[in-house]
Structure 1
Amino acid sequence: MKELAELITKELSSVVDMIAAVVIAVALCRFLYGYLQNIFKQDNGSINQALRIQFGSSLALSLELLLGADILTTAIAPTWDEIGKLAAIAVLRTALNFFLERELKASEDDKPSGKKSSVSVEAQ
């Protein structure tokens, strides 16, 4: 039974890692597409800000997914060495996520009122 739990946990961890990689890849493609689409427009500052916020939100999500995958990896009978590594990884990823979320909130607060997304910016 323990072997089955370890196998399921390791496979689930791998799936969560892959999902995080897909989130990052999709976010990067969307960012590059939006950036290249708007690069030749005269007033692209607010549009680029919306792209940065969307990309940053995706990175924050992927950091949370990766932390979850690391927790799953060490969930079944961890050694003290694995626990120490998980603690270091958790501290680093949590700190990165904290500062990223703070930057995103500050960026959203700086947005002019009435411009909630890149679609509404383009319509105006």
Structure 2
Amino acid sequence: MEEWLRASTEYSVMLINAMALVIILYGAIESFVAAIWFHFSRGDGHRRREIWLRFARWLVAGLTFQLAADIIETSMTPSWDGIGRLAAIAVVRTFLNYFLERDLAEVRGRQGDGTEEKERAA
């Protein structure tokens, strides 16, 4: 029974990490294409922020999937060394996620109250 659980955990972690890879890869490609298009079309600052926000959302989604895979993997890791390594990775990903979310909220707040428009007008 324990062997089956370990095997299913390994496959689950691999599948979730693959999903995270696809999410991040898609977001990176989408952002790259949008940035190239923006560069040649001479778009405004609002469009540039929109591209960044979309990319940040993809990154947050990918990091969340990777954190889920780390949590599953940690539950089956038999050594304290492995648990410590995975905990460090989870902490780094959690901090990245936190700061990306904070930046997203800040930009959304600026867009919502028109602060950027006031700054440009001044």
TM class by shorter chain equals: 0.7 to 0.9
Q: Which residue of 2 aligns with 1:26?
A: 26
Give the deviation of 1:51 after TM superposition: 0.7
C-alpha distance in structure 1 between counterparts of 2:107 and 2:29, whole Å: 21
Opposite residue 82 of structure 1, the aligned amino acid is: G
Gap runs ≥5 in structure 1: 115-124
Q: Which moved more, 1:44-53 or 1:79-88?
A: 79-88
Q: Which residue of 2 aligns with 1:71?
A: 71
Gap runs ≥5 in structure 2: 115-122
C-alpha distance in structure 1 between counterparts of 2:34 and 2:20, whole Å: 21
C-alpha distance in structure 2 between counterparts of 1:81 and 1:53, whole Å: 37
Opposite residue 33 of structure 2, the aligned amino acid is: Y
Q: TM-score if structure 1 supplies the norm length?
A: 0.83
C-alpha distance in structure 2 between counterparts of 1:13 and 1:77, whole Å: 12
Opposite residue 17 of structure 1, the aligned amino acid is: N
Opposite residue 80 of structure 1, the aligned amino acid is: W
Q: TM-score if structure 2 supplies the norm length?
A: 0.84
Give the deviation of 1:113 after TM superposition: 6.3
Give the deviation of 1:110 after TM superposition: 1.7
C-alpha distance in structure 1 between counterparts of 2:104 and 2:13, whole Å: 28
Query: How well do the aligned residues superpose, as a CA RMSD in angstroms?
Result: 1.7
Bigger proportion of residues as helix? 2
**Per-residue deviation, residues 84-111 of structure 1 (Å, max 9, x unmatched):** 1122112111111101110111111122
Count of residue pairs brought into register by the alignment: 114
* Identity, % of aligned positions: 32
C-alpha distance in structure 2 between counterparts of 1:72 and 1:91, whole Å: 15
